[in-house]
Amino acid sequence: MNKNAVIYISMIAALGGFLFGFDTAVISGTVESIRSLEFGFGLTSGELGFAVASVLIGSAIGAWYAGVAAMKFGRVKVMLIASTLFSISAVGSALAVNLWDFSFWRWVGGLGVGIAAVIAPAYIAEVSPAHLRGRLGSLQQLAIAIGLLVSFISNYFFANIENSPNADLWGGLLAWRWMLLVEVFPAVLYGVMALKLPESPRYLVSKNKLEEAKKILIKYANEPEPELKIKQIQNSLGNLEEIVSIKNVLAKKTLFAPVVWMGISLAFVAQFTGINIILYYASSLWSAVGFSQGLSFAVPIGTTTIGVLMTVVGMLYIDKIGRRKLLLIGSIGMGISLWITGFIFMKANQVEGNLVLSPELSWSALISAHIFYIFFCCTWGPAVWVVLGEIFPNKIRTTGLGIATCANWIGNVIVTWTFPPMLQFLGLAPTYLFYGVCCIGSYFMVKHFIPETGNKALEEMSYSFEKP
């Protein structure tokens, strides 16, 4: 096996995860600007929630159809579609003139995010040998974490060129608009690099391109008996036309439905850990508890740097410890750290409508929130995408992954859209305590419904998982 070759193509596929992370976090630096009447669109808290959530609505739709598109056109062509959508969105959202214009272009970018979220883990799982699949599958989450980091660094750079995210920079565009526009560069790179990728051998077998599939299995998966592997893939695919439609996959009459609902549950619950409220609203959250504007932009850079490092830790252990055990550890760690953060915020005072913590408590809140993020990045972050890439049988992998990822984005929409009103009417402390309860609930969901998927050939994955 050419180990370097399979790592290389997995890294290219994971560029979609980089854009996923970049697009997810870039909004953090623009929240206060687009809310502003002077520099943005003069939004209410509900409208702000919609503006932030529009990308997530697009992501849900993109994920829903990505699986079926990948079955029809191939994984690589669908990556090229995602690259195009990211590029168009970057330009359109940077030049938007009102809420609806801005939300539409963010929605277009969301289509790309949803597609990338489905295709990368499916493709990496299908080209990787079983003993490397956990680590290579985790490249998706590592790329997301790096995308988050680069986005926060980019936001910090543009916000500090003239010490304001609302400064008038080049081309008559405000700094916050440049934060959005710069995404066009990695988006184009993603498309160019995707052109170099070999197609998934499972897709090629489904299209009866057996010789091409054989070459890829030998080169990237080190298959000693590629003809036998192709036969196993053919058997696992069965009569493809009978099952790949979304309606059939979800129907109770098919025995694949239990596996699909496992994937839906895991993906949906992942959003209710509260991870994205910290990412999307990072700068405004830390401003709210007394950090200066410059520091509130800088803190997320430190956060996401830790995230990248902790994702690497998760990658190193996911094949040793197992996916399921990582999820269970993460649920407990995230829940406790969110509760601690919430209790700290309960001690904040209200001064002219703003939360004020003492310096000691401000840093305590920062530390406990980072402990939450550490637990997420080395457990749920990589493990969820690896499990979703593995759990579905060949016949329904991209369709099932698309449905599960759609559920993930629907959960993301709910969390993101409801967070500003929750913050306004309940306050920061009850909101954090609520998501802490959700994290503890996720422990019991994983314990009773999610099987271990590590160290199995993809052809072994079936609907007959027994409850662990």
pLDDT digits (tens, 9 = 90+) for 64-109: 888 778 888 888 889 999 999 999 998 998 888 888 888 899 899 9
Residue 233 belongs to some domain of the structure? no
Residue 447 belongs to some domain of the structure? yes
In this prediction, residue 274 carries a pLDDT of: 84
- Per-residue pLDDT reduced to its tens digit, 289-310: 555 555 656 666 777 788 889 8
Q: Find all residues with CB under 8 Å of 107, minimum gap 6, and list them.
A: 54, 55, 57, 58
Domain that holds residue 279: 3-197+238-460
Indicate if the alpha-carbon torsion angle 413, 417, 419, 425 is positive or negative: negative
Q: What is the mean pLDDT of residues 179-185?
A: 88
Indicate if the alpha-carbon torsion angle 222, 225, 226, 230 is positive or negative: negative
Single-letter code of the amino acid located at 247: K
In this prediction, residue 468 carries a pLDDT of: 43
Angle between helices 397-425 and 99-127 (to 10 degrees): 140
- Token duo for residue 261: 């609902």
* 464 or 315: which leads in pLDDT: 315
Q: Provide the pLDDT confidence category of residue 443 given band limits of 50, 70 and 90.
A: very high
CA atoms within 13 A on the CB side of 299: 26
Q: Which residue's entry shows tokens 């956060």?
A: 303
Angle between helices 323-345 and 428-449 (to 10 degrees): 160
Q: Which residue's entry shows tokens 């809310």?
A: 35
Domain total of the chain: 1
- Taking 80 as the threshold, does the pLDDT of residue 116 lie above it? yes
**What's the CATH code of the domain at 376?**
1.20.1250.20
- Taking 60 as the threshold, does the pLDDT of residue 282 lie above it? no
- Per-residue pLDDT reduced to its tens digit, 215-228: 877 777 666 677 77
Distance of alpha carbon 196 from alpha carbon 270, whole angstroms: 33
- Token duo for residue 374: 């550490």
- Per-residue pLDDT reduced to its tens digit, 316-326: 888 888 888 89
In this prediction, residue 345 carries a pLDDT of: 79
**Are 251 and 162 within 8 A, CB to CB?**
no
- Taking 90 as the threshold, does the pLDDT of residue 332 lie above it? yes
In this prediction, residue 442 carries a pLDDT of: 92
pTM across the whole model = 0.75
Rounding to the nearest 10 degrees, give the CA dihedral for residues 435, 436, 440, 443. 60
In this prediction, residue 466 carries a pLDDT of: 41
Interior/surface letters 117-131, b for 16+ CB within 10 angstroms, e for the rest: bbbbbbbbbbbbbbe
Residue 50, phi then psi, degrees to nearest 5: -65, -45
Closest CA to 380 of 236, 306, 272, 303: 272
- The H or E element spanning position 318 is helix 293-321
Among the listed ranges 12-26, 121-135, 332-346, which one has the minimum average pLDDT value? 121-135
Q: Provide the pLDDT confidence category of residue 467 given band limits of 50, 70 and 90.
A: very low
Average pLDDT, the chain: 78
Helices (H), 195-292: 201-206, 210-221, 226-237, 246-250, 257-271, 275-280, 282-288
- Taking 70 as the threshold, does the pLDDT of residue 40 lie above it? no
In this prediction, residue 348 carries a pLDDT of: 66
Residue 204 belongs to some domain of the structure? no
Residue 223 belongs to some domain of the structure? no
Among the listed ranges 31-35, 180-184, 235-239, which one has the minimum average pLDDT value? 235-239
Q: Which residue's entry shows tokens 């949906």?
A: 268
Residue 289 belongs to some domain of the structure? yes
Distance of alpha carbon 125 from alpha carbon 380, whole angstroms: 18
**115 CB neighbour count, 10 Å cutoff:** 31
Residue 220 belongs to some domain of the structure? no
Give the largest CA-CA distance in the chain: 72
- CA angle in degrees (0–180, nearest 5) for 154-179-282: 70
- The H or E element spanning position 418 is helix 397-425
In this prediction, residue 214 carries a pLDDT of: 80
Among the listed ranges 81-85, 285-289, 330-334, 369-373, which one has the minimum average pLDDT value? 285-289
In this prediction, residue 82 carries a pLDDT of: 92
**Are 96 and 186 within 8 A, CB to CB?**
no
Residue 230 belongs to some domain of the structure? no
Q: Provide the pLDDT confidence category of residue 334 given band limits of 50, 70 and 90.
A: very high
Distance of alpha carbon 213 from alpha carbon 204, whole angstroms: 6
With a pLDDT cut of 90, the percent of the chain lying above it is: 11
- Per-residue pLDDT reduced to its tens digit, 371-388: 888 999 889 988 888 888
Q: Provide the pLDDT confidence category of residue 463 given band limits of 50, 70 and 90.
A: very low
Q: What is the mean pLDDT of residues 138-166?
A: 80
- CA angle in degrees (0–180, nearest 5) for 298-302-303: 110
Residue 247 belongs to some domain of the structure? yes
